[in-house]
Structure 1
């Protein structure tokens, strides 16, 4: 789904958990009417406890709290935490719990990350409520105020309603959502829109990215943790580099939660390097962030731009057209490039056969998984 572009938004870039977690907890602590949270990952641990405490604190003040979790991504959230949340009056729903039905249905996941408070402020990014985000994974988020908040809230509400049982739909006073509140519009705000995807048939995020990559004139910088791009994206990246665009990829280094995915993506390095694409592998930690900068266009959100996300998952990104936002994201990229190792084209062409074998094996496995459609 592709919402319209909306003027009058205030957007704050929040790099690293040390920035976005306090901002989100502060927003929840000031909630007066309702809090909506939609996450893919939530597992028992320190961060999950902090999230539970914040949501329970809001509920105890009389705020309506709604928590929507993916049925697979939340399998690690224990019964004690779920009981605490529900006993505090928080409404908890699961998207598509794993069951004895079709493989395709089990593979479809809610990968979005949405936090909305009082219809006034929203957050998105690649975050989750697992302890890795406290110190082991590098992630970013954006805080939004203005008309786009209403579009983020509509995404949540649409999916929440689809999770209600027939009985609950007949008694919305107990299971339904509170009335949506309209956000403010700011005269000094920037232009933004929400784009979302739901499986293979609804890929507004992919089409939007492809269009921007094809039209890039100066810079095209992309960060993704799981670089297994489609043929169309690889071709567009190479073409952009050949016509003189500064094309750079910021990808994870050896610190990766799924090393096989890294190897599968590395088999594309040589062709991209030959076309003039620069590739940087982040060294400090595993970089889990997903953000793109094309000239003065920015996209931040949940989508990894890989085959799997684009084919199976519910995803959502915040797009911005703003010189200020682009400069902020560009500066963030530069800081991350500085602590990354750039892949040398000549050295990569001479890489050992062991590395090539890993690329081939994991590339074959990825191709087999991709055909599960």
Structure 2
């Protein structure tokens, strides 16, 4: 599912936590009416403590603060921190609490990342409230102003009011919030839309990417930390490369929080490389960013290209059509390609037997997971 394209927005690319975390805390500190936060990961630590303090301060000055966390992703949030939020006046809810129902239902997680302040400013990307984002993981976010913010508010509102959540606070809180939806005159032509997915039932993100890959004329650059693509996407990428499109993948190197996922995706390297797809593995740290660039279109958000995101998770991305923004995204990709090791087919074809065994083993496990739907 997706919103309609809206003009008159302002999108600011914020690569690395040193840029997006201060911007987000500044927005929270300036909030006057409402704060909506939706996160997958939140674990007790320095970053979570700073966020709890900022949210409680906002609630203390009369701001309506709503925090939606995934029940599994928030397992590391201590009971003491949960009490601090509730005592501090923050309305706290958890998506899809783990239970003794089907495994497939437990696998359905809220993987979206969203902050909206006063219905006027929004942030999305791949961030979370865990200390790894302070210095260990490379991440990218986007700051959003303009009419498209209203779609992020509606997306949050539907989940907040859904029967899949439980927690404390008035379920009708979001219905009375004012929205700033007027186009920004200085940014005419900066078009954007929100696109979201909800497991295998609503896969607008996947369909949007497939369309862009098939219709691209010059470039398709994809950055994702978890690359286990569908057969259809692999074929589209290969066909695009064969017709002369500059197809590049920016993926994690040995720094990875789930090495098995990396091995499962590496089993596809050979055929993609033979087709002309260029593959780069980022070297400095674990790259957790989810960003795609196709000609004059860009997408930043929560969705990975693996079976978890495409088959089970709630996901949401911000899509942008604007040369100013895509120039910034292109420059960021170029810097990160330069900090990566390119994988060449000649060297890859000589990889060790141990590496091939890892690909087979974790690829087989990934195949089993896809049949749990």
Same fold, judged at TM 0.5 (above): yes
Mapped partners of 2:168, 2:255: distance in 1: 45
2:39 alignment counterpart: 39
Deviation digits for residues 100-140 of structure 1 (CA, Å, limit 9, x no counterpart): 11212111100000100001100000000001000110000
* 1:157 aligned onto 2:154: no
| Contact 1:218–1:245 under 8 Å retained in 2 | yes
- C-alpha displacement of 1:165: 8.1
Alpha-carbon distance in 1 for matches of 2:166, 2:42: 27
**Structural RMSD (CA):** 1.6
Matches within 5 A, 1:183-194: 183-189=181-187, 190-194=190-194
Which deviations, in whole Å up to 9, do the C-alpha atoms of 1:316-353 show, x marking residues without a partner? 00000011111100000000000000001101011111
Q: How does 1:196-207 map to 2 (within 5 A)?
A: 196-207=196-207
Look up the match of 1:325: 325
Gaps of 5+ in 2: none
Structure 1 residues 181-222: Cα deviation after superposition (integer angstroms, max 9, x where no partner): 233311232100000000101000000000000001001100
CA gap of 1:168–1:251, structure 2 versus 1, over 3 A, is closer
Aligned to 1:347: 347
Aligned match of 1:65: 65
Structure 1: where are the runs of 5+ without partners? none
- The answer (yes or no) to whether the contact 2:17–2:138 under 8 Å persists in 1 is yes
Comparing 280-289 with 176-185, which one deviates more in the overlay?
A: 176-185
Match of residue 19 from structure 1: 19
Distance 2:302 2:225 in 1: 11
Contact 1:113 1:301 (C-alpha < 8 Å) held by counterparts: yes
* C-alpha distance in structure 2 between counterparts of 1:326 and 1:336, whole Å: 15
| Secondary structure at 2:202 match in 1 | coil
Shift of 1:180: 3.2
In the alignment, is the contact (CA less than 8 A) between 1:94 and 1:163 conserved in 2? Answer: no
SS in 2 for 1:346: helix
> Mean alpha-carbon deviation: is it higher for 138-147 or for 103-112?
103-112
TM-score, normalisation: structure 1 = 0.97
Could you tell me which residue of structure 1 aligns to residue 335 of structure 2?
335
2:257 match: 257
Matched ranges for 1:189-268 at <5 A? 189=187, 190-268=190-268
TM-score (norm 2): 0.97
Q: Distance in 2 between matches of 1:161 and 1:202?
A: 19
8 Å CA contact 2:92–2:168 kept in 1: the answer is no
Q: Which secondary structure state, in structure 1, belongs to the residue aligned with residue 211 of structure 2?
A: helix
In structure 1, what is the Cα distance between the partners aligned to 2:41 and 2:80? 17
